[in-house]
Homo-oligomer: A and B are copies of this chain.
């Protein structure tokens, strides 16, 4: 089929009629499908059911250092959990803090602490007139929600195929001392699935921030979340790069097992420099006596080591890969060559990012909804929910079954076409 924009008004009108008929048929199916959130499916959760068994039957709940994990104590995590999640984070255990079930919570607390107490002795952000964050876009809605909640001004930085626009990042971070941080999902980014290039990571590690206490919030949420065994992205380890660059304290690196074991009952962690660790623990020891060590032990006993995690992630990939491919195949087949949208084929992570023609995303999502297919709401991938082009749509293929995904994707591409034709017809008026 030829690109829509090369069609005559008559051709478009004819096409519009057809698509409307198809849409009515789609509505008649009375679908209730959801491609809105990056939730693992039941089959994926079943992979970790063995975790419920490793501590049963009165097994000893002491860690390798003899600590009774049932009792109070151990602020920063049991040693073998530091080793396991350290290996996953590609960082030595002594740079780790192991937390509770949510890395989002750790990020929230990190921003909250900076608001009330600053970063390593800097003025508390809450006492400053203006605090700003850089936000690579499209990005993760829950990151943006945290900075919005604290009244931090968010500045969009466009993503490129190699990561955020580093010229812009360097210029802004180097010149504006109100800029205190940047949100990054450096591997299989949410939503585009982009992995930052070596050069991007090196430029991050060599930033010269105008602001004291500027930090990179490096959310390595998808560090081991590959879709393919033989075609994986590689990300340079940033803490080591920072050390080499003489910038050891520049990064907070977050990670969790949420999309490895159970999303609600995993273990989160933070990797950072000794100076940052000291600064954080000053707060942590007031905030809690310690996190759930039994659950840390449960994870260690189940996965054993990083190889156990890798093997486990292959099983996740076996479930996720066909789902991604189902959606991508529908996109290729139905939208290829029409020039009414672009998308990226990710090699890992949880999302497919789709860019519709300008001004179409909101309408497409509304149209999908009326046909029983829930998509992530328009604008979600931008700070303040404002997509300046009203173009980006995040597709989350993990939760529905492949059969449902096939149906949902069919409705989605139909809506993309319909809204595109309507836009072109309007322009032809």
Residues of A within 8 A of B (CB): 37, 39-40, 42, 45, 48-49, 52-53, 55-59, 61, 68-74, 100-102, 104-105, 108-109, 112, 115-116, 124, 126-127, 142, 145-146, 149-150, 258, 262-265, 283, 286-295
Q: Is the CB of A292 within 8 A of B56?
A: no
Q: Can you name 16 A-B pairs with beta carbons within 8 Å?
A: A40-B71, A42-B68, A52-B59, A52-B61, A56-B56, A69-B264, A69-B265, A72-B263, A100-B101, A115-B116, A262-B294, A263-B289, A264-B294, A265-B294, A292-B292, A292-B295
Q: Is the CB of B52 within 8 A of A288?
A: no
Q: Is the CB of B57 within 8 A of A45?
A: no
Q: Is the CB of A70 within 8 A of B53?
A: no
Given the known A-B contacts A52-B58, A286-B149, are A71 and B39 also in contact in the complex, defined by CB atoms under 8 Å?
Answer: yes
Least Cβ–Cβ distance between A91 and chain B, in angstroms: 24
Residue on B nearest A258 in the bound complex, by CB: B72
Chain B residues in 8 Å Cβ range of A145: 286
Given the known A-B contacts A104-B288, A116-B150, are A264 and B283 also in contact in the complex, defined by CB atoms under 8 Å?
Answer: no
Chain B residues in 8 Å Cβ range of A265: 69-70, 292-295
Q: Is the CB of B71 within 8 A of A292?
A: no
Q: Is the CB of A102 within 8 A of B150?
A: no
Chain B residues in 8 Å Cβ range of A104: 287-289
7 shortest interchain CB distances as A-B pairs: A56-B56, A265-B294, A70-B262, A108-B287, A72-B263, A105-B288, A45-B70
Given the known A-B contacts A56-B56, A101-B100, are A39 and B72 also in contact in the complex, defined by CB atoms under 8 Å?
Answer: yes
Chain B residues in 8 Å Cβ range of A116: 112, 115-116, 126, 150
Chain B residues in 8 Å Cβ range of A262: 70-71, 294
Chain B residues in 8 Å Cβ range of A149: 283, 286
Chain B residues in 8 Å Cβ range of A69: 264-265
Interface residues of chain A: helix, strand, loop or mixed (majority): loop
Least Cβ–Cβ distance between A99 and chain B, in angstroms: 10
Chain B residues in 8 Å Cβ range of A49: 58
Least Cβ–Cβ distance between A374 and chain B, in angstroms: 15
Chain B residues in 8 Å Cβ range of A289: 102, 104, 142, 263-264
Q: Is the CB of B58 within 8 A of A55?
A: no
Chain B residues in 8 Å Cβ range of A42: 68
Least Cβ–Cβ distance between A98 and chain B, in angstroms: 12
Q: Is the CB of B264 within 8 A of A70?
A: yes
A263 CA / B105 CA spacing, docked (Å): 21
Least Cβ–Cβ distance between A55 and chain B, in angstroms: 5
A283 CA / B146 CA spacing, docked (Å): 9
Least Cβ–Cβ distance between A77 and chain B, in angstroms: 11
Chain B residues in 8 Å Cβ range of A74: 264
Residue on B nearest A116 in the bound complex, by CB: B115
Given the known A-B contacts A292-B265, A295-B265, are A45 and B72 also in contact in the complex, defined by CB atoms under 8 Å?
Answer: no
Q: Which of A69, A104, A109, A288 has the most chain B CB atoms inside 10 A of its CB?
A: A288
Residue on B nearest A105 in the bound complex, by CB: B288
A173 CA / B4 CA spacing, docked (Å): 71
A109 CA / B113 CA spacing, docked (Å): 10
A288 CA / B142 CA spacing, docked (Å): 9
Given the known A-B contacts A100-B292, A292-B264, are A287 and B105 also in contact in the complex, defined by CB atoms under 8 Å?
Answer: yes
A69 CA / B58 CA spacing, docked (Å): 24
A71 CA / B57 CA spacing, docked (Å): 25
Least Cβ–Cβ distance between A396 and chain B, in angstroms: 11
Least Cβ–Cβ distance between A382 and chain B, in angstroms: 17
Q: Is the CB of A264 within 8 A of B293?
A: yes
A52 CA / B56 CA spacing, docked (Å): 5
Chain B residues in 8 Å Cβ range of A286: 108, 142, 145-146, 149
Q: Is the CB of B264 within 8 A of A72?
A: yes
**Besides the known contacts A39-B71, A45-B70, A69-B264, 6 further A-B residue pairs in the complex with CB atoms under 8 A apart:** A52-B55, A70-B264, A73-B264, A102-B288, A108-B288, A109-B287
Residue on B nearest A69 in the bound complex, by CB: B264
